[in-house]
Amino acid sequence: MFNAFRTTVLLAALTALFMVVGYFIGGTSGMMIAFLFALVTNLFSYWNSDKLVLRMQNAMPVERSRVPELYDMVDILSRKAGIPTPAVYVINTDQPNAFATGRNPNNAAVAVSSGLLKHLETREVAAVIAHELAHIRSRDTLTMTITATFAGAISALAQFGLFFGGGNNRDNPLGGIGALLMVFLAPVAAMLVQMAVSRTREYEADKDGAEISGDPLALASALQKIAGVAGRQVNIAAERNPAMAHMYIINPLSGQRMDNLFATHPDTGNRIEALRKLAASMQVADKDRRPQPRPAPVSTGRDTGGGWRVPTVGRTDEDGGQRGPWG
Output the pLDDT for position 75: 96
Does residue 157 belong to any structural domain of this protein?
yes
Which of 196, 198, 200, 218 has its CA nearest to residue 209? 218
Does 325 fall in a domain?
Answer: no
Structural domain contains residue 216: yes
Paired sense of beta strands 107-113 and 302-303, if any: unpaired
Annotated active-site residue 204? The verdict is: no
Ordered strands of the 59-61 beta sheet: 59-61, 87-91, 107-113, 98-104
Instruction: Give the pLDDT confidence of 145-184 residue by residue, as tens digits.
Output: 777 666 667 766 666 655 555 555 555 555 556 566 666 6
Q: Please give the helix or strand (H or E) that residue 109 lies within, else none.
A: strand 107-113
Q: List CB contacts of 289: < 8 A, sequence separation 6 or more.
A: none
Count the domains in the chain: 1
Residue 324 lies in a domain: no
252, with CB counted inside 10 A (0-12, 13-18, 19+), is buried
Residue 323 lies in a domain: no
Contacts of 84 (CB under 8 A, 6+ apart): 78, 105, 106, 108
pLDDT of residue 302: 45
For position 38, what pLDDT does the model report? 76
Q: Is residue 98 within 8 Å of residue 248, measured between CB atoms?
A: yes
Q: Are 163 and 26 in contact (CB under 8 A)?
A: no
316 in any annotated domain: no
Tell me whether residue 137 is in a domain. yes
Q: Judging by DSSP bridges, how do beta strands 98-104 and 107-113 pair with one another?
A: antiparallel
Asked if residue 292 belongs to a domain, the reply is: yes
pLDDT at 257: 47
Supply the pTM of this predicted model.
0.75
- The residue range of the domain holding 64 is 2-310
> What is the pLDDT, as a whole number, of residue 319?
43
- Determine phi and psi for 128, rounding to 5 degrees: -65, -45
Could you tell me the mean pLDDT of each successive run of 10 residues in the chain, 327 residues long? 65 76 73 79 74 90 89 96 96 94 92 94 96 93 74 66 53 58 65 63 93 95 93 87 84 61 75 95 67 42 47 45 29
The pLDDT score that the predictor gives to residue 306 is 44
**DSSP H helical ranges for the chain:** 2-56, 68-81, 114-119, 122-137, 140-163, 175-213, 216-230, 236-240, 268-281
- Which of 69, 124, 132, 202 is an active site residue? 132
Nearest of 148, 162, 154, 151 to residue 37 by alpha carbon: 154
